[in-house]
Amino acid sequence: MDDLIKKSETINKLLARYGVKFGIYKNGEFKEQLFPFDPIPRIIKHDEFTYLEKGLTQRVDALNCFLADIYGPKHIVKDGIIPEEFIFSAKGFLAPCDGVTPPKNIYSHISGIDLVQSKDNNWYILEDNLRVPSGASYPMIARDLQRRGAPEAFSDNSVLDNRNYADLLKEVMDHVNTGGINVILSPGRYNAAFFEHSYLAEKTGAVLTTGKDIVCENDNLYYIDYNGRKQRVGAVYRRISDEYLDPMTFYEESVIGIPHIFEAYRKGNVALINAPGNGVADDKGIYYFVPKMIRYYLSQDAVLMNALTYLPYYEKDMRYVLDNFDKLVIKDVAEAGGYGVVFGSSLTAEKKEEFIALLKSQPRRFIAQEVIDFYDLDILDESGKSVPRKADLRAFVLSGDTTRVWPSGLTRFSRNPDSFIVNSSQGGGFKDTWVLSQ
Amino acid sequence: MFLPQDTARQKITDLNITVSGCENYSITNDSFNNKKLYGLIKEPHNNFEVSITGTAESGIGIFDEYFDDPYRFLILKAQTDLTKPGEKLNEYRKSLHLDEFYAPYDKALHIMRSLHETFQYNPGVTEIHETAENAFSLGKGVCQDYTHIMLSLLRSEKIPARYVVGMMLGEGSSHAWVEALCRGYWYGFDPTNNKLVNDEYIRVSCGRDSSDCSVIKGNFYGFTTQTQSEAVSVEEIITKD
């Protein structure tokens, strides 16, 4: 481990050289910044990982059942488990997807599930990301570079190899492929996660495209290469959000999408990874219902707990939220990336009054949660001293022939000692995540 | 673009489609079961035309098929960005005393009649993407606005309702009206004309609001300005039997 710490500066330099960056749009300007890497790994013991694996697999399986139900027969609404207001007027519900069955009936192929550990060592699910969760490439390349610098650190400590992510991803793409090549569709060079798109394309052997060389003809999708040769496309791992995917179906002004790609998908002629419309399941409001979904679809109790959540939509919960406002964290359902998060105790009296008025007028828009006392992880500060910081873990769950959890993950930490928000778009850093084999 | 298709009320025959510069178009159905024609022209062009002619036999039946599963249309009970009511529409709905009516059909009829009285037909006031609330505040608009406002009111009453685009005898452009699900059957209401939909109407497409079912929609890439024109002509053929 000391070896790793000594080499951390070199590794950060190499990461910069490989272009491991994160793009941020702020005030209309595009800026790229390095994603700072901390050499002290998060260590997950074998038994603990087995437990996480069980809970995550269960959760993602239930979420996939939910998506198939919502865009299909809608039993969960008919049976009164989830009120219809939480589904059909949610931004993430896409009417064009209604009645469309994706290849092999898989909606969320790559799920990024964010967890935190509390001081009493319990794991809590923080949020589900079922649209285009990013971040797997960062621990992949960091591990690769560290292994070059200090290979013994990994064999001596029985760390499970995490370099199989690309193989898992390729298996998923091949499993749902409808007959043709695999492509990774990126919005382009100026996307926040362009490094990841190119890296995953290289590692999985998929064609990296920005869509300019893809056409839809006769309900099929084709890739036209530099020779003018036309090849059928069977699976698209698209890193473009739903709204921009197809200007003829979704946002008309989109210039990064592929016109009519949705028609090929509707006819079952191409797999889209992940399926469009998944936003209805990773909404912060729906999060509250996931344990109920697990019981409803799988007849099991949830292995992994949600953070204790209240829905002001229910009168009883609203009363609790108003009575305990100062000790809760309130989240705007429509926001992501650490935005729209308010700690009740941080507001001035005036702001608090304003916020409560908003909450009362739009109860459906917010959820409230008990603040979790995070288990801090050590990081090295600029002077090389280890200091505790808040951190979370994004676990990657891949659904193909079976559902599998990648034995690693993205551990993000907040560099600011007072902040709970670890999102890379807000300046956090990352660590390697070790899963031990015994 | 959307094509008219057979329903329990109408039968479409000898449909003749010509699309300039595009032989490779496809026909598909969308999630609202509309029949849709789409295609791509790769060659540069400075003119694009689509023409569709055909015969519609209307007035075959009064009802569409019967739906005994109300959950099938949950999507059509949810407000959209265009139909979401604001203060003005909520106030108006209260003034209608809809709780005095029990059957959805009676509520719909009352809404249609009152709206026709309150709202004024006047083209050029509202915009293409005008919301129901805005249009209602302005007090005047076109068939699209009448339809959005009525949809908003019906959905606030938890009645599934959809936006319908079609053609009407004697009109020079496409028309829009409302269909409301009343006890398992879809009924057509035309608030612009204060009329129940009958054999003078030819139905083309439907959806949650106008953005789901505009007759034609497209994109082109290039630096140029464009003009677009649309013409609809419906003539009556009376058969003897």
Q: What percent of chain A has pLDDT over 70?
A: 95
Are B205 and B165 in contact, with CB atoms under 8 Å apart?
A: yes
- Do residues A169 and A280 both lie within one domain? yes
Residue with tokens 């000790």: A327
Using H for helix, E for strand and C for coil, what is the string for chain B?
CEECCCCCCCEEEEEEEEECCCCCCEEEECCCCCEEEECCCCCCCCCCCEEEEEEEECCCCCCCCCCCCHHHHHHHHCCCCCCCCCHHHHHHHHHCCHHHCCCHHHHHHHHHHHHHHHCEECCCCCCCCCCHHHHHHHCEECHHHHHHHHHHHHHHCCCCEEEEEEEECCCCCCEEEEEEEECCEEEEEECCCCEECCCCEEEEEEECCHHHHCCCCCCCCCCCCCCCCCCCCCCCCCCCC
Q: Which residues of A touch B77 (CB under 8 A)?
A: 84, 88
- Note the pLDDT tens digit of each residue in A101-152: 999 999 999 999 999 999 989 999 999 999 999 999 999 999 999 998 888 8
Sheet strands (E) in A225-376: 230-238, 271-273, 305-306, 309-310, 328-332, 341-343, 366-370
Q: How far is B26 from chain A (nearest CA, A)?
A: 6
| Paired residues of B4 in beta bridges | none
- Do residues A215 and A267 both lie within one domain? yes
Does A98 sit within 8 Å of B28, measured CB to CB? no
What is the model's pLDDT at position A94? 95
Does B40 sit within 8 Å of A259, measured CB to CB? yes
What is the model's pLDDT at position A198? 94
What is the model's pLDDT at position B142? 95
The arrangement of strands across the sheet holding B26-29 comes to: B2-3, B35-38, B26-29
Q: What is the DSSP letter of A374?
A: B
Higher pLDDT, A397 or A211: A397
Cis status of the peptide bond prior to A269, with omega within 30 of 0:
no
Q: Which residue from A84, A219, A252 is facing B26, i.e. has the nearest CB?
A: A219
Are B153 and B93 in contact, with CB atoms under 8 Å apart?
A: yes
Token pair recorded at residue A75: 């039993």
- Do residues A111 and A198 both lie within one domain? yes
| Paired residues of A398 in beta bridges | A110, A404
What is the model's pLDDT at position B223? 85
Closest alpha carbon to A145 in A8, A286, A31: A8
Q: Which residues of A touch B38 (CB under 8 A)?
A: 248, 260, 263
Please tell me the CATH code under which domain B62-213 is placed: 3.10.620.30
Span A183-209, mean pLDDT? 92
Query: Does residue A418 surpass a pLDDT of 60?
Result: yes
Specify the pairing of strand B185-190 against strand A207-209. unpaired
- Do residues A329 and A193 both lie within one domain? no
Query: Does residue B22 surpass a pLDDT of 80?
Result: no
**pLDDT band at residue A25 using 50, 70 and 90 as cut-offs:** low
What is the model's pLDDT at position A33? 76
| Paired residues of A124 in beta bridges | A116, A305
Contact of B40 with chain A, judged by CB distance below 8 Å, is answered with yes
What is the model's pLDDT at position A214? 94
Its domain, for residue A318, covers 308-370
Q: What is the DSSP letter of A284?
A: H
What is the model's pLDDT at position B201? 92
Query: Does residue A71 surpass a pLDDT of 70?
Result: yes
Long-range Cβ pairs for the range A85-88 (8 Å, 24+): A85/A313, A85/A364, A85/B78, A86/A283, A86/A285, A86/A286, A86/A289, A86/A313, A86/A364, A87/A280, A87/A286, A87/B74, A88/B74, A88/B75, A88/B77, A88/B78
Q: How far is B85 from chain A (nearest CA, A)?
A: 13
- Note the pLDDT tens digit of each residue in B187-202: 999 999 999 998 899 9
CA dihedral sign, ordered A253, A256, A260, A262? negative
What is the model's pLDDT at position B91? 96
Average pLDDT, chain A: 91
- Do residues A338 and A398 both lie within one domain? no
Does B40 sit within 8 Å of A215, measured CB to CB? yes
Residue with tokens 């026709």: B116
Span A403-414, mean pLDDT? 95
- Phi-psi label, residue A135: left if phi above 0, alpha if psi -120 to 50, beta otherwise: left
Q: What percent of chain A has pLDDT over 90?
A: 67
Contact of B9 with chain A, judged by CB distance below 8 Å, is answered with no
Give the type of residue at A122: N
- Give the range among A138-147, A166-175, A222-231, A334-343 with minimum mean pLDDT: A334-343
Specify the pairing of strand A181-185 against strand A207-209. parallel
Span B8-19, mean pLDDT? 90
Span A397-418, mean pLDDT? 92
In chain B, domain spans: 62-213
Q: Which residues of A touch B26 (CB under 8 A)?
A: 218-219, 263
- Do residues A406 and A336 both lie within one domain? no
Q: Which of A370, A386, A406 is the last residue of a domain?
A: A370
- Do residues A130 and A209 both lie within one domain? yes
Distance between first and last Cα of chain A: 18
3-state class (DSSP) for residue A249: coil
Are A230 and A224 in contact, with CB atoms under 8 Å apart?
A: yes
Q: Which of A336, A353, A370 is the last residue of a domain?
A: A370
Q: What percent of chain B has pLDDT over 90?
A: 65
Q: Which residue from B26, B31, B71 is facing A96, i.e. has the nearest CB?
A: B31
- Note the pLDDT tens digit of each residue in B116-170: 999 999 998 998 889 999 999 999 999 999 999 999 999 999 999 999 999 998 7
- Do residues A341 and A397 both lie within one domain? no
Q: How many CA atoms lie within 13 A of B117 on its CB side?
A: 8
- Note the pLDDT tens digit of each residue in A336-360: 666 778 888 888 889 999 999 999 9
Q: Which residues of A touch B31 (CB under 8 A)?
A: 95-100
Q: How far is A103 from chain B (nearest CA, A)?
A: 17
What is the model's pLDDT at position A90? 86
Q: B40, B72, B212, B220: best mutation site toward chain A, by most A Cβ within 10 Å?
A: B40
Contact of B128 with chain A, judged by CB distance below 8 Å, is answered with no
Query: Does residue B241 surpass a pLDDT of 60?
Result: no
Are B130 and B146 in contact, with CB atoms under 8 Å apart?
A: no
Cβ burial B95-134 (10 Å sphere, 16+ → b, else e): ebebeebeebbebbbbbbebbbeebeeeeeebeeebbbbb
What is the model's pLDDT at position A223? 96
Q: Which residue from A89, A93, A217 is facing B79, i.e. has the nearest CB?
A: A89
Span A332-339, mean pLDDT? 74
Does B38 sit within 8 Å of A260, measured CB to CB? yes
Contact of B220 with chain A, judged by CB distance below 8 Å, is answered with no
Q: Which of A339, A370, A401 is the last residue of a domain?
A: A370
- Do residues A357 and A428 both lie within one domain? no
Residue of chain A whose alpha carbon sits nearest to that of B84: A89
Average pLDDT, chain B: 90
Query: Does residue A155 surpass a pLDDT of 90?
Result: no
What CATH number is attached to the domain comprising A327?
A: 3.30.1490.270
Q: Which residue from A88, A248, A252 is facing B74, i.e. has the nearest CB?
A: A88
Does B30 sit within 8 Å of A248, measured CB to CB? no
3-state class (DSSP) for residue A410: strand
Q: Which residue from B31, B40, B71 is facing A77, i.e. has the nearest CB?
A: B71
Query: Does residue A56 surpass a pLDDT of 60?
Result: yes
Residue of chain B whose alpha carbon sits nearest to that of A254: B219
| Paired residues of A389 in beta bridges | A377
Query: Does residue A27 surpass a pLDDT of 80?
Result: no
Token pair recorded at residue B56: 């519609």
Span B200-210, mean pLDDT? 94
CA angle B191, B193, B197 (to 5 degrees): 75
Count CB atoms within 10 A of the CB of residue A380: 14
Specify the pairing of strand B120-121 against strand B140-141. parallel
Does A263 sit within 8 Å of B38, measured CB to CB? yes
Closest alpha carbon to B108 in B43, B39, B191, B52: B191
- Do residues A350 and A398 both lie within one domain? no
Contact of B64 with chain A, judged by CB distance below 8 Å, is answered with no
Q: Which residue from A84, A215, A217 is facing B74, i.e. has the nearest CB?
A: A84
Q: How far is B196 from chain A (nearest CA, A)?
A: 28
What is the model's pLDDT at position A410? 95
Number of domains present in the structure of chain A: 2
Does B77 sit within 8 Å of A88, measured CB to CB? yes
Higher pLDDT, A396 or A371: A396
- Interface size A-B, in CB pairs within 8 Å, comes to 56
What is the pTM for the complete model shown? 0.92
